[in-house]
Amino acid sequence: MAPEATSPKDDALAPLPAGRLHWLRAGPLEVALAPEAGGRIAQIRYDGVDWLVGVDDGDSAAIAWGCYPMVPWAGRIRHGQFEFDGKPYALPTNFGGHAIHGVGFTRPWAIEALDAMSASLSLALPEDAGWPFGGTATQTIELTPSRLELHLAVQADQQAMPAVLGWHPWFRKPDRLLFAPDAMYPRDGEGIATQPPVRPTPGPWDDCFMHTGEVTLESAGQRLRMQADTDHWVLYDGAPHATCVEPQTGPPDGFTLALHRLAPGQRLELKFDLHWDIKSTQTPA
C-alpha cells in the first residue's frame, strides 16, 4: 500500500488567470502563449477565427481552457496510486479523488527562447508537488503561415521515472469532426480507461483511442488537420461548447496500463502538428 499523499483540493478546477500573453505570428496564423498559466497556449487564431476556448469564455478553471501540456502523465492516475520498479507511490489527487494531467499545467514555465514565430519553454518537475522523481520538461512552439508545430519532451534526472506525455487543446465546438479510430479503451465505473481495447462505440466520447493518421476539425469555412507521432488519442466531445483532441504517448492511468520507463538521463518526446487550409466552396463539375 502506498503512503497517503498530501492533496490539494481539486486544484485542477481552481481558476487560473492567463498572466502575460506573448503573441507569435506568421501570416494568418497567430498564437497567444501564456507561460505563467501552465506553459499553455491561450489562443490559436487562423485568418481571424479563434479556435480555442479561452480563459474568458465562461470557465477559467485550470483544466478547462487553452491548449496545455500534460507532463509527466496525461489523463487520470487512478486515486493517484501506482507502482514503479516494485515500489508503491501516491501522487496528490487534484480532480475527483484522482491525479490528473501531470504537474505542469498549473505552474509557470520559464521562457528559454522567444521570437516572432517560435518559443521554447522549460519546467523543472517539482518534487514539492508530490512528484518524487525529478526530471525536466521542455516544449517548443513553432509557426509557419499555415502550420503550428508543437514539441514536448521530458528527461529523467538522476533516477529512473515513469512518463506519459500529452497535449490538451480545448477547441471551440467545430462544425464537423472527422475521426475514424481503430480501437478504444473501455472505461469502468470510475470513468477511467481499462484493458483490453475494444471496437470503438458511437460518440459522444470521453475516451482514449488507438488511431493512426489524421484527426480533422472543420469550422467557419476552415479545415484543421492534426497529426502526432503517437497512436493514442483522447477525444472528449460531450460538452456543448468544446471538443478536445488530445494526442498522448499512452493511455490514461498509463503508469499502470502501459508503463513507459525512462532510465536516468533518458528522454520521451511527443510531436503534434496542426495544419490549416480553407475549405473549398466549389461544387465539382
Q: Are 13 and 62 in contact (CB under 8 A)?
A: yes
pLDDT at 248 over 90: yes
**Greater model confidence, 259 or 250:** 250
- Residue 132 has φ and ψ, to the nearest 5°, of -85, 0
Q: Indicate the pTM of the whole model.
A: 0.94
CA 96-100-103 angle, to 5 degrees, is 130
Percent of the chain whose predicted confidence (pLDDT) is above 70 = 94
88-132 residue pLDDT tens: 999 999 999 999 999 999 999 999 999 999 999 999 999 888 899
**Of 167, 132, 146, which Cα lies nearest the Cα of 30?**
146
Q: Residue ranges per domain, the chain? A: 11-277
User: Is residue 255 within a helix (H) or strand (E), and if so which, with residue range?
Assistant: helix 254-257
Question: What's 11-277's CATH class?
Answer: mainly beta
How many residues are there in the chain?
Answer: 285
- Sequence-distant (6+) residues with CB within 8 A of 115 are none
